[in-house]
Amino acid sequence: MSSLPNFENDLFISYAHLDNETLSKEQEGWISLLHDRLSIRVAQLIGDKGVKIWRDKKLQGNDVFGEEIISRLRGSAILISILTPRYINSEWCLQELNAFFDQAGDSLQVGSKLRVLKVLKTPVPLDRHPAKLQGVLGYEFYEVIDPETGRAREFIPDPDKDIRYWQRLDDLAWDVKALIENLPRDDQPRPAPVAAASGLSIYLATTTSDLVDRRDEIKRELERRGHIVMPDQDLRSLTGEKLRETINGYLQSSQLSVHLIGEHYGMVPEMEDCSLIQLQQELAAARGDDETFSHICWLPPEIAPKDERQRQFIARLQDSFSSHNGSELLQTKLEDLKTIIQQKIEKRLRTQPVAAGVGADDLKRVYLICDQMDDESIEPLTQHLFDQGVEVILALRDDDQSEVKQFHRDQVSICDGLLIYYGRAKSTWMMMNLNELRKLPAYRGSKPLPVKAIFIGGEATSHKDSFRTLEATIIRHYGDFSPDAIAPFIEQLKGTKGAQP
């Protein structure tokens, strides 16, 4: 049974059977591995062992596209299409895709997201994608090693050989989780949508193949921090005025745009005389920079343009870039870029107008500290705090410890609440952060101390059971997260006067 009572299956995987065949009898098929791993990862993220994925394991051959497939599609919440050259040449696969769209009807879209996810195992030119999927962003499980010829190499589905496979699988699992949680359920009221005010709307420009992994890394971190990352469609499917209108629409609704400029010039859209990368940068520059918007253009330190057009574009950018309110042209390490993005976000959050219905004195900010091993464990906790109208600011992850320390000092000096999550970290990590609590008066000056709590979660240990302190409230809650555990902290937090930056 699906985790969703309205559906028999959470996911339906549509694929070509040829793509699950292997060159060795000892190997497991690519689709089979994705099926098993996605089932486990989504179950871990939503905390439900009942996640159910269905796919047709029969060789279809002369089978008739019949009632069983129609029934399975009708009873599935989400369709995952595994696009490959064989898939787009398969009448059976295209029938599955079209049948799901037809049956979903008005319920095909959940918020701004489709109930159809596009996975690209092998490169397929965009103009050969099924028309219904051309504007849908895909999860590419390969790297392009020659943009001119389109030659690519698939990620190796082995954790010891290729971390990129697992990162892409995790991205897919998180988006499946979001869809499952936002689909309407008959057995309970639909939760109110989380206000966009919990984070910023950020335009993270489409980039070239040499920087896709770095863009994905930034996107992953921004979304985990509660920000809305755009664009949410494949811009390559648009042309002419529609393309410009779409990009400008995204930019107008954003507070910040980030442009990663690589060594390749990239595709030139139909009816344009410059690359998509250059077009996005120029439209962001035309948007201007004021108290509501700024943009960052970033070049890797080691950049070596591959053709004359890209060399000229970069030269013009370096010669003509200007700013009035915080826009920047950077050529730094990726970690430095991420630090600067976070600093700009924090500044925007402190200065942007508060959402309607939330007065400036009512908005509460909580600075949450956890070990990197617990980044995924805190997701239900941070989501619940956001749902309760609490702004959650997470500690930075950065190689530059001077930047991390400055960010830490800034947050503890302005936050209304300070929450330490103690889960998988070592006891020495906990004791070091307990020492930080004792420094709060020095950071705060004349400002009142924030509401302080230590949330002890994860698996029970003897050290956790015996841990005691008078420096902060102890919340001891093992296992799956429960809103009741954090409720007293939220009540105490909302009873305080908001700290002013």
**pLDDT score of 358:** 47
pLDDT in tens, 311-342: 999 999 999 888 877 899 999 999 999 989 98
Give the strands of the sheet with 390-394, arranged side by side. 390-394, 364-370, 417-422, 451-456, 473-476
| Level-2 CATH architecture, domain 358-494 | 3-Layer(aba) Sandwich (3.40)
Please say if the pLDDT value at position 159 is more than 80: no
Element holding 391 (H helix, E strand)? strand 390-394
pLDDT of residue 498 exceeding 90: no
Domain spans, the chain? 1-189, 192-353, 358-494
Type of residue at 366: V
Contacts of 19 (CB under 8 A, 6+ apart): 29, 30, 31, 82, 84, 86, 87, 121, 122
Per-residue pLDDT, averaged over 74-97, amounts to 92
Q: How far apart are CA 192 and CA 347, in angstroms?
A: 28
Q: Give mean pLDDT, residues 251-272.
A: 93
Q: What is the largest CA-CA distance in the chain?
A: 79
Q: Which of 29-33, 117-121, 146-150 has the lowest mean pLDDT?
A: 146-150
**Which pLDDT belongs to residue 64?**
57
Q: Which CATH superfamily is domain 1-189 in?
A: Toll/interleukin-1 receptor homology (TIR) domain (3.40.50.10140)
More confident residue, 4 or 262: 262
Which phi and psi angles does 394 have, rounded to 5°? Answer: -95, 150
Looking at per-residue pLDDT, the higher value among 109 and 366 belongs to 366
3-state secondary structure of 118: strand
| Residues 172-224: tens digit of each pLDDT | 999 999 888 888 765 444 443 343 445 789 999 999 999 999 999 999 888 87
| Sole residue written with tokens 């059976």 | 92
**In whole angstroms, what is the distance from residue 278 CA to residue 155 CA?**
29
pLDDT bin (cut points 50, 70, 90) of residue 356 is very low
The pair phi, psi for residue 424, each rounded to 5°, is -90, -5
pLDDT in tens, 471-494: 899 999 998 888 899 999 999 998
Helix (H, G, I), strand (E, B) or coil at 363: coil
Q: Any idea which residue has 């508060």 for tokens?
A: 354
> Measuring CA to CA, which residue among 342, 341, 423, 415 is closest to residue 376?
423
Give kind and range of the element (H or E) at residue 429: helix 427-437
pLDDT (mean) for 300-321: 92
The span from the CA of 470 to the CA of 157, in Å, is 48
pTM: 0.63
pLDDT at residue 280, rounded to an integer: 96
Mean pLDDT of 136-143: 91
pLDDT higher than 80, residue 399: no
Rounded mean pLDDT, 350-357:
54
User: Cα separations (Å) of 236 from 129, 136, 287, 290?
Assistant: 12, 10, 21, 29
Residues 6+ apart with CB under 8 A from 313: 261, 265, 274, 275, 277, 278
Q: Which of 1-15, 67-81, 109-123, 356-370 has the lowest mean pLDDT?
A: 356-370
Q: What's the average model confidence in pLDDT over 45-51?
A: 78
Whole-number average pLDDT of the chain: 85
Which tokens in the block code for residue 228?
A: 């809305």
User: How many whole angstroms separate alpha carbon 343 and alpha carbon 183?
Assistant: 34
Supply the pLDDT for residue 401. 74
Query: Is there a common fold for 1-189 and 358-494?
Result: yes
Confidence of residue 464 (pLDDT cuts 50, 70, 90): very high
pLDDT of residue 199: 73
pLDDT score for 357: 46
pLDDT digits (tens, 9 = 90+) for 401-419: 777 787 888 788 888 999 9
The architecture that CATH gives domain 192-353 is 3-Layer(aba) Sandwich (3.40)
- pLDDT computed for residue 397 by the predictor: 73
Nearest to 403 by CA among 322, 333, 329, 328: 333
Give residue 18's pLDDT: 92
What's the pLDDT score for residue 191? 42
- Residues 243-250 have a mean pLDDT of 93
CB 377 within 8 A of CB 455: no
DSSP assigned state of 290: B
